[in-house]
Structure 1
Amino acid sequence: MSHDDPYAPKSPSCDNKFQLVKVESWVNGVTSSSIVGLSARFGSPLPRDAANAIRRPTVLANPINCCAHSSSKLTNFVALAKRGDCTFTAKAQIAQFGGAAGLLVINDNEDLYKMVCNKNDTSINITIPVVMIPNSGGKILEDSIAGGGSVELLLYSPIRPAVDLSAGFLLLMAVGTIVCASLWAEFIACEQVDERYKQLTPKDPSSSATNNGDDSEKEVLEINSKLAIGFLLMASAFLMLLYFFMASWFIWLLIVLFCIGGIEGMHVCLVTLILRFFKNCGRKTMNIPMFGDVLILSLVVLPLCMAFAIVWAANQHAPLAWIGQDVLGICLMITVLQMARLPNIKVASALLMCAFVYDIFWVFISPLIFHESVMIAVSLIFL
């Protein structure tokens, strides 16, 4: 995708259109994360298709700001440099003079700054691609190289289609999840099981069928206006926690919590579906200490769900890992939506308004306070 900015300075030798660039990376031959960058007003344009791009090794410029002749060998390498201390064109000229095949400039925040020429740059001749990448993506590459890893990059600027089918697919998936959750209890849930969502919870032998019905009703959380506002405050606090504590251990903690929720949701969905079509499976139980009588079906399905989540977590950066993530997320949301209830349109409107304010503030207003969009900065952590 490319676009022109009439307000960005240009000159006869510095008049390229800005291109959104996809930076694919490999560390020691293993596919790593992709980074989205922005090309400069100067330099050579990038190919539109990955098949026409050349996969090249990457090296850190030395000095890292690339404001002086680099002591690192740059020939046929993509040079990685940090923003600051000299102009963008000076960095590009030094990298090109050293024989670099391209230059990636790491920004000092998560924004994609438009690299333009200065007024004095009237006759520059830069023939290598120059791309700005966000700080988080640059740090990943920098740490990999500093740790002795062999990093290779593929730079290209894919054409954005007029109709984005992926957006339609996401909308369809979201609507389908909500519809499925709303119809789950009536059309899918098995009537033969008293506790549909608690096959692995302790059972009280003295409780009657009436008490079981009451317990089932207690599982439903009725959302009111106060809870809607509480959701806004809790989500904001959690977002700030992510923003200020972007450590790898904290990210893995979130992944583990997501896997636990996904395992529970997938277990509930699979057991319920199987019991719906194979009701005899609900007759065989096993007595387990502290849990009481547990369906054997639950004991069989649970390890499969755990294995699914573990495989996804171990391969979450693989090209098709999004399928496993969506499956876990959909199962989790179906289970959660079974437990939440909006009593009236007033509460629903309050919840939607809180969600609207939450998105607008953290995407568009937060840069005025934190000098960058907190929502975008946090989302880039998981790329």
Structure 2
Amino acid sequence: MELKGATSTLFFFLLLLLQTVLFFPFPAFAGDIVHQDDISPKRPGCENNFVLVKVPTYVNGVEEIEFVGVGARFGPTLESKEKRAIHTRLEIPDPSDCCSQPKNKLIGRVILVHRGNCSFTAKANFAEAAGASAIIIINNQTELFKMVCEVNETDVTIGIPTVMLPQDAGVKLENYIKNNSIVSVQLYSPKRPPVDIAEVFLWLMAVGTIICASYWSAWSAKEAAIEQDKLLKDGSNEYLDMEKTGSGGVVDISTMSAIFFVVIASCFLVMLYKYMSIWFIDILVTLFCIGGIEGLQTCLVALLSSFRWFEHASGSFVKVPVLGSVSYLLLAVSPFCIAFAVLWAVCRHKVFAWIGQDILGIALIVTVLQIVRVPNLKVGTVLLSCAFMYDIFWVFVSKLWFKESVMIVVARGDKSGEDGIPMLLKIPRMFDPWGGYSIIGFGDILLPGLLIAFSLRFDWLSKKNLRAGYFLWTMIAYGLGLLITYIALNMMDGHGQPALLYIVPFTLGTLLTLGRKRGDLMILWTRGEPERPCPHHQLETSQ
């Protein structure tokens, strides 16, 4: 139930490790294109941008299913509005690969052909010569493939659209036609909006989570400082015990543990990449649920304890085997937290499951930021710098060794058969015709959050107001860094971006610059808290 001391330290450090697997926001879209075209440069007649294409299918006049394909680098661009896309009958040519002039009449038809035996442009040229209005090529795999022009091809001035469908979709269409059904399709490529409202809500969610966690952490630090000063004033030896054991199960990260943390996270990421499977996802879901239960319990108990109606329940304890002393309030909220997490795990594939995942995730992040702390700016700099390099390496540099971005493959859950691991916050894209989610990894909130919470604790203990302190400016820097991340994400056409690439320079640079300008850098770097003018001086309880 409620973990204390060393058990709490070990448990939350494990969860913090799991959460840093994902450090970037990555929008999940339908129909991911797996082939990367890095060797075929654009040239006249073969310079289209690759776009996803919607292919609504009508069988005997009734709409059956909508497939997703990808447009070729050659040929005209497709219509972007569904209402302007023409219903056109689908036919199979003879020969079915369309590597020679078709024998049947195809004027005005969209033809469905198999991949292979000749180039994509050769198929398109034969189809255009036969009078077809468009050509759909069935891939020989269940993924999509980017169709490009061959290096030595010259006849690439093609006047009809070319679209590729995955193998399973093409086989379904082919079976409809072979069963003598009248099949017609529409081909159009709707444009994504520059900004989706989901990104705005996700930004607010990340910023709000850090603000709440920082204030809770700062309040706990101030209360602990007041208690310590009271003990010193009374001459009690309990202060020495608090120094040895820590107060409330709080964990201070050291410089070596910060480096070790990122190294282990890298090893764990590679393990996920190599051995990702449905059973591995189930293990991660179980760990996430355990952490979510603990986080939700901690947050609810802290919230309810602030109301006078629950003061007695939160202050009364009962001994429970194995767990020790547990408050009645904790016993009351625990069944609800367990039921909530189990319900999410069972229904995690439902369209509404993102709500439960976000609630559990936010509670977990807030609790971790309450328990795990950066003691000074030196440790914070080492931790964020290592995470900064980690992010860049596993998103970009890992392509040189693994031929694909390890971070993006793990984030999408390509090898697991699911939508990815649960250690992230996500919101459905509301006005995107392609659907999907805007997501952000826990690490993009947790790691900067550790530094921002440290800045607020320093402000409160040194009695700095909001403008003269460091919290406001590091919080603004975080918000700007995350905003720049989403701008870069949209400019890169939805390709995954390492958020810490932008967030770390903003937050860490702001704190270092302000600290040096105000003359507090040495204290921030070493002690992490202001010196007390007198050990018997009691801190005021109000800010």
Same-fold status (TM-score > 0.5):
yes
State, as a whole percentage, how many aligned pairs show the same letter: 45
Q: CA deviation at 1:366?
A: 1.0
Q: CA deviation at 1:128?
A: 5.6
2:261 paired residue number:
231
1:257 paired residue number:
287
Q: Does 1:347 align with 2:374?
A: no
- Which deviations, in whole Å up to 9, do the C-alpha atoms of 1:127-184 show, x marking residues without a partner? 56326x8xxxx8xx79xx9xxxxxxx99964433334443343333222222211111
Alignment map for 1:70-149 (pairs within 5 Å): 87-89=119-121, 102-103=136-137, 105=139, 114-118=146-150, 119=153, 121-122=155-156, 126-127=160-161, 129-130=163-164
Any stretches of 5+ residues in structure 2 without a counterpart?
1-28, 30-37, 57-64, 87-96, 101-108, 173-184, 224-237, 414-418, 421-543
Residue type of the alignment partner of 2:330: S
Larger Rg: 2
Indicate how the Cα distance of structure 1 residues 266 and 353 shifts in structure 2: closer, same or farther if over 3 A, else same.
same
Indicate how the Cα distance of structure 1 residues 45 and 181 shifts in structure 2: closer, same or farther if over 3 A, else same.
same
Q: How many angstroms apart in 2 are the aligned matches of 1:279 and 1:39? A: 63
Q: How many angstroms apart in 1 are the aligned matches of 2:155 and 2:138? A: 20
Indicate how the Cα distance of structure 1 residues 352 and 289 shifts in structure 2: closer, same or farther if over 3 A, else same.
closer
Q: TM-score, normalised by structure 1?
A: 0.65
Indicate how the Cα distance of structure 1 residues 269 and 44 shifts in structure 2: closer, same or farther if over 3 A, else same.
farther
| Other structure's SS at 2:247 match | helix
Any stretches of 5+ residues in structure 1 without a counterpart?
25-30, 55-65, 70-75, 146-152, 192-207
Q: Does 1:291 align with 2:341?
A: no
Indicate how the Cα distance of structure 1 residues 228 and 91 shifts in structure 2: closer, same or farther if over 3 A, else same.
farther
1:148 paired residue number:
none
- Which deviations, in whole Å up to 9, do the C-alpha atoms of 1:231-263 show, x marking residues without a partner? 221111111011111221112211111111111
The counterpart of 1:273, out of the listed 280, 303, 317, is 303
Q: Which moved more, 1:359-368 or 1:161-170?
A: 161-170
RMSD: 4.9
Alignment map for 1:60-79 (pairs within 5 Å): none
Q: Does 1:18 align with 2:44?
A: no
Alignment map for 1:48-63 (pairs within 5 Å): 48=80
Indicate how the Cα distance of structure 1 residues 291 and 15 shifts in structure 2: closer, same or farther if over 3 A, else same.
closer
Residue type of the alignment partner of 1:129: V
1:243 paired residue number:
273
- Which deviations, in whole Å up to 9, do the C-alpha atoms of 1:292-347 show, x marking residues without a partner? 44333323322222222222223333333222222111111111111222122122
Indicate how the Cα distance of structure 1 residues 369 and 306 shifts in structure 2: closer, same or farther if over 3 A, else same.
same
User: Greater RCO between the two (CA within 8 Å, min separation 6)?
Assistant: 2
Q: CA deviation at 1:350?
A: 1.3
Q: How many angstroms apart in 1 are the aligned matches of 2:374 and 2:190? A: 43
The alignment covers a number of residue pairs equal to: 320
Q: CA deviation at 1:122?
A: 3.7
Residue type of the alignment partner of 1:306: I
1:364 paired residue number:
396
Q: TM-score, normalised by structure 2?
A: 0.48
User: Would the aligned equivalents of 1:181 and 1:338 in 2 still touch at CA under 8 Å?
Assistant: yes
Q: How many angstroms apart in 1 are the aligned matches of 2:188 and 2:50? A: 13
The counterpart of 1:159, out of the listed 178, 191, 207, is 191
Q: How many angstroms apart in 1 are the aligned matches of 2:405 and 2:113? A: 24
| Other structure's SS at 1:129 match | strand
Indicate how the Cα distance of structure 1 residues 156 and 169 shifts in structure 2: closer, same or farther if over 3 A, else same.
farther
